[in-house]
Structure 1
Amino acid sequence: MFVAAFIAASEIGLWVLLGLGLALRYVFRRRRASTVTLALIPVLDALLVGAVALDLHRGAEAGTTHGIAGLYLGFSLAFGPAIVRWADVRFAHRFAGGPAPVKLPKHGPERLAALWREWFRVVLAAAIASVVMLGLVVLVADDSQDPALISWIRPPWTLVGLWLVFGPVWELLTPRQRTPTESERSSSW
C-alpha cells in the first residue's frame, strides 16, 4: 500500500510541478524559478525508487505495485522531457503569445519519423524499467522477492513489440490514397 500511495503521489506531483513550473515561466515571468521547479520532476522518480527499495528492504512481499513502480519510473524518465516540451509549447501559446503547436501530419515521412522517435522512447523506458528491476534484485531484494521482480522485466518489452507493430510498422504498411495532382483535379470537371 505504501508503494501504491507513493506512485499516486509521484503522478500527482509530476503534474503539479509541471503546471507550477510553466506558470512560473509564462504567467509570473520567473524563468529561473521555473527551471528549478521543472528540474525537480526527476527527483520524484528518484524518491519513488527509494520508496520501493525501502519497502522491499523492510521485507514487503514483492508484487504488482513494485513492478508498476519500475514501469512508471522507466516511462516517466523516457517520456518526461517530451511531455514537458509538449506542455511548454501549448502553455506558451495560450499564455505568452507563443506560436501555435505544430500538428503532426496524418501520414507521410514526418509522421513516420515521429513514430520512430516515440518508439525509441518506449525502448528507453523498457530498458530503464528493466535496469531498475534488476538493480532491485541485485541490491535490495531477498531470494523470495526476486521472482516477482524479475517477472516485471517482460511486460515492458512486450509493449515495445506491440508499439513497433502498431506504430511505425503500421504506418509503413498502411496503404495511402494517392493525392490527385492539380491537373488531374481540373480535368475531372
Structure 2
Amino acid sequence: MIKWIITAEVAFWIVIIAGLFSRYVLQWKKVSILFFLMTPFIDLALVALTVIDLRNGATATTAHGISVIYIGVSIAYGKTMIAWADEKFQTWFLKKASNKQTLTGIAKGIHEMKMWARHATAFTIGSLLFWGMITFVGSQGIEALTGVWRVWGLVLLIDGVISLSYIIFPKKVTS
C-alpha cells in the first residue's frame, strides 16, 4: 500500500510541475489548468486502490490510514500547495522577486488559525473516509485505521493549541 501512496505523491508533484511548466515556460495556460485539474483524480485513484486492497482481504495497516490522511490533506490544502509551488517556481526558475511578506502580530495569529481550520477540514474529510471505509470494508482488523485516526486527532489538537497561542501571545512587530 505504501508504494501507492508514494506513487500518488510523486504523480501529484509531477502534475503540478507540468502545470507550472506549461503555464510559464510554454505559455499554455489552458493546458496548465488541465494539469491542475488532474490532481483530484490522483486522490480518487488512491482512494479506489485503498478500498480495493481492503476489499480484497488485506488487513488494514498504518499505510491504509496514511492514504486517508494524504487524501484529506490534499483536498484541504490543495489550492494552498499549488499556490506555494507557483510562487516557488516563479522565484526559482523564472527569477522573479518574491512578494511574500513575513507575518507578525495578530496577522500571524489569524494566518495560523486559518491554517488550523484547513487542518480541521482535512481531518473531517479524512474522518469521513475512515468511517466510510470501515463501513464499506467491515470492522474486522481496523485497529491500525482507528489508531492512525486517534493519533491524527491528537496532532490536530496540538496544532490547534499552537495556532491559538499565536493569537493569545502574538509575536511583536519589529521595525
Structure 1 length-normalised TM: 0.83
Paired letter, 2:169? T
Q: Hey, what's the Cα distance between the residues in 1 that align with 2:37 and 2:48?
A: 18
Partner of 1:173: 168
User: Residue 53 of structure 1 contacts residue 136 of structure 1 at CA under 8 Å; is this kept in 2?
Assistant: yes
1:129 matches 2:121: no
Unaligned runs of 5+ in 2: none
Q: Hey, what's the Cα distance between the residues in 1 that align with 2:157 and 2:106?
A: 21
Change (3 A) 1:4 1:176: closer
Residues paired across the two proteins, number: 175
CA shift, 1:38, in A, is 0.8
CA shift, 1:15, in A, is 1.0
CA deviations over 1:130-179 (Å, ceiling 9, x no partner)? 0111110112x123134443333322221111001122x22133365586
Q: Secondary structure at the match of 1:152?
A: helix
1:161 matches 2:163: no
Partner of 2:24: 26
CA deviations over 1:4-48 (Å, ceiling 9, x no partner)? 110000111111111110000000000000000011011111000
Structure 2 length-normalised TM: 0.90
Paired letter, 1:157? G
Alignment of 1:77-116 (within 5 A): 77-95=75-93, 100-105=98-103, 107-116=104-113
Return the match for 1:62 from 52, 60, 64: 60
Taking only aligned residues, the RMSD between alpha carbons, in angstroms, comes to 2.1
Q: Hey, what's the Cα distance between the residues in 1 that align with 2:126 and 2:173?
A: 42
